[in-house]
Amino acid sequence: MKKTNKNKSEKVKSWDVVKTTMQYLYPPAWKQFKGYFFCGFIRLLIDAIQPFVLIMISPLLIDELLGGRNVKYLLTYVAIIAVGSTLLSLIGSVLGCIMEKYDQKMQNYFTEQISLRVMELDFQLTEDKEALDQIEAARTGMSWYSGGVHGITTQLFNMISNIIKLVGVMVLIAIYAPLLFALILVLLVFNVLIRHKMNQLEVEAYARLSKLNRVWGYLCWNLTDFQYGKEIRLYDAKDMMVTKWGRYTDEMNANWKKNADDNLKWALVAVIIDVARFTLMYLYLGYLAIFGYISIGIFTQMRSASSTFQSSLEAIVWGVQEIVKKSNYAHEYVKFMNYPAAIVKGNKPVEEKEHIIEFKNVSFTYPNTDVMVLNHVNVTLTPGEHLSVVGLNGAGKTTFIKLLSRLYDPTEGEILLDGVNIKEYDYEEYMNLFAPVFQDFKLFAFSIKENITMDEKIENKEVEPYLSKVGLSEKLSTLSQGMDTMLFKQFEEDGIVPSGGEQQKLAIARALYKNSPVVILDEPTAALDPVAEYEIYRQFNDLVGGKTAIYISHRLSSCKFCDRIAVFSEGTIKEYGTHDELVRLENGIYAEMFAAQAQYYR
């Protein structure tokens, strides 16, 4: 009894998934691609009509051959079969090609929606295993597993087409061979059970594959992506990469082999049932023909009708199961598009004024870990203040910036903007307050201008001052395409590969162009030579102006340019003050670090 209730619950759940998936996918698909559905509807009518050309004309042709043999009638019947079938097949093929083109457009559309959602996803989730697995499940669930909207719709249209066929042949069979119904229905029950079992096995195989497919894909990209070329060659990583790829390939193959092995016995049973169906059908129809209940022409008609009845009925049941299965796969897309937010977002507008930012007893532990990275941090940034954040690696400096930028939310405590918890503010408006340059910043294979503005329509003259501020005007003058020069060589042979220092300057120019009231520079001079580093320090106040600035660096000589210094150690602020105050602290962390570095410059 418990098993029955469980199966009933699973069945209801499956149909709920189908309903939810269709309600989510079809409105945008209909809005964007109406032509696809019109073509599909016409094609399903053609598919439904086509078998009846042969079913209805064949008995007339055979009986004429066995009876009057009137050439005029014979040619007419042959012409109807040949021309009708050919014309319907041709129209169906053309419509099928049109639908395939629409399918590619739909795939691109939904892939774009996934990409947009990935870019909108809370940053915290980009490091969450479950979220990453869900992204992969959404991609595969909308592509080769379900075929997306096209895969589901094809099954739906096929099912409607087969219902029309079924009704038509049922009328014919009821007139001439009614016992065929019982024979086909009994055997169909077994086929349905077998197909259901095989579908269950396939869904289980898909569930096992999600993580494997993500790891396998990662290795494939690494093996063919030149950005890893230096490390693979210089550290002789080829053997390890190929071995890993081979191991995960074997695991994927083993997964599908298990699925195939599990399905084999059920496939064999299905073959036996088909043989039994054909045998019993011919025995029954042969009996009717021998004893004169039907003509030879009707015999062939009943044979075709019974096959069509069987195949249509199976196709309807199979189609229902396929729609459920494909909808369950595509539902992974729905789940991802509605993936719960990792951080709280409010709707309070951010006022255009100078802001006071306060960390109030803030602690933070990264998700799914027990390590406290920040521990009861308290600090206040006043408008226009330049704060230097220093400390050893792992002290929590970058995490401090990530919390301020709302890439994560604090585990304990709160961050206040003008006395209000930042969770209450509109997320986009709050994010626009900050222009950060992280130590692991990224540039894109776009033009120089696009990397700075993130906009294709901005005029060059609006960007030039920022390139000049970071010292790239001279470099720009040597480029034939100026700011339209492409970075890197992924897409353009004449693209340039900037040095590490030049890339860092471009990242700083991007932050300055954003013109946010708070500038965050996380190790901004790490890749610069001493001369360029000096220039950045010298121009620091000019670059940032009256904006609030947070400056993270291991080079403590830069701290002289800041109003206050926060010394992080063991996840909290151990020392806080000006450079002159901190160097005088006896046994102070900052004083010790500064003395250790200063000896190399004396």
- Give yes or no for a contact between 593 and 414, defined as CB atoms under 8 angstroms apart: no
pLDDT band for position 230 (50/70/90)? Answer: low
* Three-class DSSP category at 565: strand
**C-alpha to C-alpha distances, 64 to 285, 302, 346, 523, 539, nearest whole angstrom:** 20, 17, 81, 92, 100
Report the pLDDT value the prediction gives residue 255, as an integer from 0 to 100. Answer: 79
Closest C-alpha among 527, 535, 524 to residue 501: 527
What is the per-residue pLDDT across 190-217, written as a single tens digit (0 to 9) for each? 777 777 777 777 777 766 666 677 777 7
Report the pLDDT averaged over residues 266-293.
Answer: 80
Q: Which residue has the tokens 């990583």?
A: 237
In this structure, the strands spanning 420-421 and 434-437 are unpaired
Report the pLDDT value the prediction gives residue 267, as an integer from 0 to 100. Answer: 80
Question: In angstroms, rounded to a whole number, what is the distance separating the alpha carbons of residues 396 and 393?
Answer: 8
- The region that residue 410 occupies, defined by phi over 0 for left and psi between -120 and 50 for alpha, beta otherwise, is beta
In this structure, the strands spanning 564-569 and 434-437 are unpaired
Domain boundaries, the chain: 24-337, 357-442+498-598, 444-496
In this structure, the strands spanning 412-417 and 372-381 are unpaired
Question: In angstroms, rounded to a whole number, what is the distance separating the alpha carbons of residues 580 and 563?
Answer: 11
Check pLDDT > 50 for residue 2.
no
- CATH of region 357-442+498-598, choose from 3.20.20.370, 3.40.50.620, 3.40.50.300, 3.40.190.10: 3.40.50.300
Check pLDDT > 50 for residue 114.
yes
Question: In angstroms, rounded to a whole number, what is the distance separating the alpha carbons of residues 261 and 269?
Answer: 14
Question: In angstroms, rounded to a whole number, what is the distance separating the alpha carbons of residues 466 and 299?
Answer: 86
pLDDT band for position 60 (50/70/90)? Answer: confident
Check pLDDT > 90 for residue 84.
no
Report the pLDDT value the prediction gives residue 3, as an integer from 0 to 100. Answer: 42
One-letter identity of residue 67:
G
Q: Which residue has the tokens 């059920």?
A: 266
- Give yes or no for a contact between 102 and 35, defined as CB atoms under 8 angstroms apart: yes
For 378-443, the DSSP string reads: EEEE-TT-EEEEEESTTSSHHHHHHHHTTSS--SEEEEEETTEEGGGBBHHHHHTTEEEE-TT---
Highest mean pLDDT among 180-189, 366-375, 420-429, 448-457: 420-429
Q: Which residue has the tokens 């049973």?
A: 269
Report the pLDDT averaged over residues 542-559.
Answer: 79
Check pLDDT > 70 for residue 331.
yes
Radius of gyration for the chain, computed over Cα atoms and rounded to the nearest angstrom: 35
Question: In angstroms, rounded to a whole number, what is the distance separating the alpha carbons of residues 485 and 457?
Answer: 15
* SS3 assignment for 490-539: CCCCCCECCCHHHHHHHHHHHHHHHCCCEEEEECCCCCCCHHHHHHHHHC
Cβ neighbour number for residue 25 with a 10 Å cutoff: 23
* Three-class DSSP category at 585: coil
**Homologous superfamily assigned to 24-337:** ABC transporter type 1, transmembrane domain (1.20.1560.10)
Check pLDDT > 90 for residue 141.
no
Contacts of 232 (CB under 8 A, 6+ apart): 238, 241
Phi–psi pair at 551, nearest 5 degrees: -130, 115
Q: Which residues pair with 360 in a beta bridge?
A: 414
Check pLDDT > 60 for residue 10.
no
The sign of the torsion formed by the CA atoms of 439, 444, 445, 446 equals negative
The sign of the torsion formed by the CA atoms of 352, 355, 358, 359 equals positive
